[in-house]
Structures are given as structure tokens and as C-alpha cells.
Chains A and B, each alone.
Chain A
Amino acid sequence: MDAASRSDQPAIRVRDLRKTFRVAERDAGLAASIRGLVRRTHRDVEAVAGVSFDVASGEVVGFLGANGAGKTTMLKMLSGLLFPTSGEVSVLGHTPSRREREFLRRITLVMGNRNQLQWDIPALDSFEMNRAVYRIPDAEFRRTRDELVELLEIGDLVRKPVRNLSLGERMKAEIAASLLHRPQVLFLDEPTIGLDVTAQKRIRGFLAEYNRRTGASILLTSHYMADVQALCSRVVVIDAGAVLYDGGLRALTTRFSPHQTITVQLPEGVTDLSGYGEVVESSPDGRTSLRVPTAEASAVAARLLADHRVSGLTIEDPPIEDVIERVFAGRPSAPVPS
């Protein structure tokens, strides 16, 4: 599928989706264990509590949330692994929980901790099995396989038994196996978990290229904000099973952290700049970082330039990790002196 053939219909449509798990509970200890034989107590846990959103064809969306927020449960419902308790889900026009073959042939779910490759044989043989599973014509299979092997730079690895590969090498081979059938929707759950920086970067680059070449929609969860920043123009923040924010990354920063950091370098050395904003950091070489409200950042910078001989000045948004931390903490930015 190329970009020109993208439909106006959303690739993913979710309305008021809910998933409740019934979990057994008991206190710790032998006595509680024996009591549990006779009388068992359960609790309903609402993992997803009325989530609604759309993902357009070709869109890359980051799904953010703390551990246990409901991200993975959402991905499992979208890929047909879990039956929703209520609500509507449509992926490429299919209801995932029906697990129709045509639907499964058009999606993939990559989980950082899942292993779909056969352990004892080279990845190339597992790729061959996927060819049969997805009924990929030979020529198309060879073309896609060679392209993926080249893009992920795993030419030397796919001939070794999978058990002999490192985590990062195996993850790259897993991703290649997951994309052999050229899925139109990719659900990626922590695809770079446990990988070194180089491997993370390569996988990010690869996913961006795959999205560009095929026009596939990607829904991604990751605790590495670098993944999200590199790939996603839009994020959906989920907390306690509900959507807390749905929009652009930049707007997320503005909304949840309405301040910026001005870093100014003064040749005269250490100077008291507390009158301009909250001093976050000050070094003996005259470099000072100030936290100021976003709306006042330009004016404060202008005042600094007017009042001092400035050798360097930058205005930056706070790190996205800090923004997300504030989002999960559910509190607005601390008051900033101006």
C-alpha cells in the first residue's frame, strides 16, 4: 500500500472501550491460603475505562502511560487477543475479537518480551514458516525478506540458531518476522525494551522508514521517550484506563508543563538572576538556567539581553520525560516566580 491509496476512513476506531478483569485476592500467609480453599474473594479491576480515539491511515501514534495504566491491555484488544468487556473497536474495518483471517493477515503485534521465532533453528527458517502462515507468494516473500534484512542489517544473524542471538539481535529478527506479510497496522509494545542505544536508534529509524514506504499505521507504546519523539507526531496519554490527553507532543508540553528553560551565558561570571525567574542551575563560568512561564519567556529573554552583556542564550522546552512525569503525577506545573 502506498501513501496515495490511504483511505479517509480511520485505520483504527475505538469508542467507549472497556475491559474489566476479575481477579482473585487474598491476604498473605498460610492461614489466608487455607481460607482461600473454602471462600475465595474476587475483585473487578477496570483496566480500560471508556477509551475513545481514532488513528488515521499512515499515522504514527504514541501510547503513553505509567505501568498498569492499561496501554498493553488496549493493544491486546486492538489486536484481537483480548475480548473487550464493552465498547466498539474497528481495525481496518474488522472487529479484532472475531480474529478473522483477513484481519490477522493485515496487522502485527510486536511485543518487546515476546518470542515468535523458533528457538532452535535459524531465523531464516522461521521466516519461511511465516511465508506459509501468511501465504505470501514466493517472489513477494523474497523481496520483502531481503528488504527487511537489509534495512535492519541482520544479514549475518539470520543464519544462526535464534538461541545464539543476543537480545538486541533477536529483537531485530523478531521485527523482521513480524513484518514479512507487510501489515497495514502495527501494534508495537515496547519494541526497544532492553536494547542498547545503537540498536534502539536503528529500530526507530527502521520503523520510520517502514511507515514512509508502506503508509502503515503504527500504534506504539514505549517508556523510552526517544522512541516517541522520533516516531510520533501525536500521543495518547492513558492513565488508570482512561485517556488523559490526545494530541500533539508539543501541545502536551504546553498543556502539562507551561514553563520553559532559559539558559544564559554571561561573560562576567556568576550573577544573581533570580529576579528573572526560578534559578534551576548556576555554574561558576557564568552559565545560569532559569525556569520561566512559557508566555513570558520571550519577554524575559529580551530583558536579559537588554540588561546584561550576554554571550549565549537558549530557550528550551523541558525534557519530555519531565512533562510525562507531571502528567502522571496529575498535578500542574509548580508556580514560577517572574
Chain B
Amino acid sequence: MTAAPQTRERRRLRGLPGFYAVVMRTAVQSQFQYRTANYLYMLGMIAEPVVYLVVWSAVADAQGGAVEGITAGEFAAYYIVWTLVRNMNVVFTPYGWEQRIRQGELSGQLLLPVHPLHYDLAYFAGWKFVVILLWIPIAAVLTLVFSPVFDVTALELLVFVLAIWGAYLIRSLLLEALGMITFWTTRVSALYQLWFTAELLLSGRLLPLALLPGWAQTVAAWSPFPSTFGFPIEALVGNLSTGQLWAGIGVQLIWIGVGTLLATGVFRLGVRRYGAVGN
């Protein structure tokens, strides 16, 4: 290889895109190894929203067709989109960090000239393409069964596509930072359970945020949780104005910034305490 093409090639490989592409491809390859497990996972994934959907549809029917103005068809739309957003929300969890640190599995990643955060972000982003592919038939079946009401504009669709990736980034970064507390505590599961409970209530996962009492909506508005769940869903199936749609993306950007600072800062401080035990 002559010097000029080699320089061009080095330039092409500089930066992270090449790394992200390869890791995402690897994630897809790994996931495709277990087809049955993937389908079982997806079936497990829809059990939760179907329960919520059946309950809220029953409540809506009992109250004359709507709860706080949300009809059964709108509930169906909410929870069918929910299934996709939930899958976008699957990220490297604090349990993973606990295992990495307690068992020394982080050592292998620390030896690579790439921050472990990039590996996790790339790997789970790659995995999303597999779950989106598997989600399509499930969403089709749910649509046939529950008859959702969709009235989507092109702008809402665009904001939704941006928002689900924003949600992925926010949840990834914040849970990475939370998981890295294991550098100090060796175990972080209990803290994650606390986080999870708050997230369940304040994100729009358990129920649409509009159904929360006023004070809870105020608390939720100051937390990152709606940006990871409620906002992406509302962007597609709600009635948000153009200003509200872009404001939602703006809030997501702020939380991505906060998450980046937290994850990189906690890592920088915590890695000094890493004992590299067990490996």
C-alpha cells in the first residue's frame, strides 16, 4: 500500500463512526444467533403494555368511553407505540456495571483505546435494529386486536424518530452513571430499584402523564423521565403543538448533556478505584 492511500485510509478510520458501525454490526450478528430467544423476549416485552392496555380500556369503557379525555382507541395507540419506545429504552443497566466491576470484566474494556461508554452505546444501538425488525409483526397484531386511533403528521413522525433515539441516549447515559457508582459501593442494585420505581411512575410508562395528579406532573417535568418515555410517545400519538414538539427535543438535548457530563465525570473519578479483581 502506498503512502497516500494509507493516509486517506487512516483519515477515513479516524473518529468514531467506523467503530460504531462495526460494533453495531457485531451486535446484530450476535442477536441473530438466538432467534427463538429474541421472539420469546419480544413476547415478554408486550405482556406489560397489554395488561395496562386492557385495564385502561376497561376503565374507559366503564366511564362512558374515555378517561380524562383519553379514549380506548387513544389508549391503544399509546401502548402500541409504548412497545417500541420500551424497546428503545433497553440499555446497558446498572446490573451490568455491577457485574463488570465486581467480577473484573471491565479490565478488557479498559485496555482498549475507546471509552467503554462508546462500546455500550454502539452495541445497544445495533441491537435496536434487531428489535425494531421483530417489533413490526407484533405491532401489526396489536393493531388488529385493539384498533388504535392514529392521526400522525409528517412533523410528528420526524420528531418521534428523533425522540426515540434521544430517549435511548438519555436513559443510556444516566443508567451508565448510576451503574458506575459500583466503583464505590460494589453493589448498586438497591439504588437502581429506587430509580426504577420513580421512573415507572414519572416517565409515562405505567400510565400516560396526563393521568398523574398535578403535583406529580410538576415533579415529573423537572426529572429526565418523561424525556425517555412519555415525550416520544406523546410526540407521535398526542396532540402536541409544533412548539411543544421542538421544546421536547430541546429538553432531551439538555438531558443528553447532563447525562454525558455525569457519565464521563463519574467514570473519571471512579476508575481510579477500580480493583481489577477476579481477572
**A132 touching B21 in the complex, CB below 8 Å, given contacts A79-B111, A114-B279, A121-B30:** yes
Contact for B114 among A114, A128, A133, CB less than 8 A: A133
Contact yes or no, A132 B275, CB < 8 A:
no
CB of A99 within 8 A of CB of B279, answer no
Known A-B contacts A125-B29, A161-B33; the reply to A137 vs B111 at CB < 8 A is no
Partner of B30, one of A107, A109, A120, A135: A120
Chain B residues contacting A109 (CB-CB under 8 Å) are 107, 111
Once the chains bind, are B275 and A21 in contact (CB under 8 Å)? yes
Task: For the complex formed, measure the closest distance between the CB of A129 and the CB atoms of chain B, giving whole angstroms.
Answer: 5
What residues of chain A lie closer than 8 Å to B13, measured between beta carbons? 132, 135-137
Interface size class on chain B is 20 to 34
| Chain B, 25-70, CB within 8 A of any chain A CB | 26, 29-30, 33-34
| Chain A contacts for B108, CB-based, 8 A | 114-116
Docked-complex contact A135 and B14, CB < 8 angstroms = yes
Q: Does A105 contact B (CB under 8 A)?
A: yes
Query: B1 an interface residue at 8 Å Cβ cutoff?
Result: yes
Q: How far is the CB of B28 from chain A (nearest CB, A)?
A: 10
Which residue of chain B is the closest to A136 with respect to CB atoms? B13
Report whether B14 and A137 are in contact in the complex, using a CB–CB cutoff of 8 Å. Answer: no
Residues in B106-158 with C-beta less than 8 Å from chain A: 107-108, 110-114
Tell whether A299 is near chain B: CB-to-CB under 8 Å.
no
**B26–A140 CB distance below 8 A:** no
Chain A 118-144 against B: per-residue CB contact (8 Å), 1 yes, 0 no? 101100011011011111111110000
Q: Does A10 contact B (CB under 8 A)?
A: no
- Within B79-115, the residues touching A (CB, 8 Å) are 107-108, 110-114
Given A114-B279, A132-B13, A135-B14, are A81 and B23 also a contact pair (CB < 8 Å)? no
Output the least CB separation between A241 and chain B (Å): 16
Query: A290 to chain B: which residues have CB within 8 Å?
Result: none
- Answer whether A129 and B1 are a contact pair too, CB < 8 Å, given A81-B276, A82-B274, A114-B107: no
Q: Mark B237-271, 1 if CB is under 8 A from A, else 0.
A: 00000000000000000000000000000000000
| CB pair B276 A82 closer than 8 Å | yes
> B272 contacts A137, CB within 8 Å?
no
CA A128 to CA B30, docked complex, whole Å: 14
A104 contacts chain B at the CB level, 8 A cutoff: yes
Within 8 A of A (CB), among B215-236: none
Decide yes or no whether A113 CB sits under 8 A from chain B: yes
CA distance A128 to B107 in the complex (A): 20
User: By the criterion CB–CB under 8 Å, are B23 and A137 in contact?
Assistant: no
Q: How far is the CB of B248 from chain A (nearest CB, A)?
A: 34
With contacts A118-B26, A121-B26, A125-B26 taken as known, whether A134 is within 8 angstroms of B113 at the C-beta atoms is yes
Nearest first, the 9 closest Cβ-Cβ pairs linking A and B are A132-B22, A104-B113, A101-B113, A139-B1, A135-B13, A81-B276, A120-B33, A137-B9, A132-B19
Supply 17 further A-B pairs (C-beta < 8 A) apart from A80-B110, A104-B112, A132-B13: A21-B275, A76-B107, A104-B113, A105-B113, A109-B107, A109-B111, A114-B107, A115-B108, A116-B108, A121-B29, A129-B26, A132-B19, A132-B21, A132-B22, A135-B18, A137-B10, A139-B6
8 A-B contact pairs sorted by A residue (CB < 8 Å): A81-B110, A82-B275, A120-B29, A121-B33, A133-B112, A134-B113, A136-B13, A139-B1
Partner-B contacts on A (CB < 8 A):
21, 76, 79-83, 99, 101-102, 104-105, 107-109, 111, 113-116, 118, 120-121, 125-126, 128-129, 131-140, 161
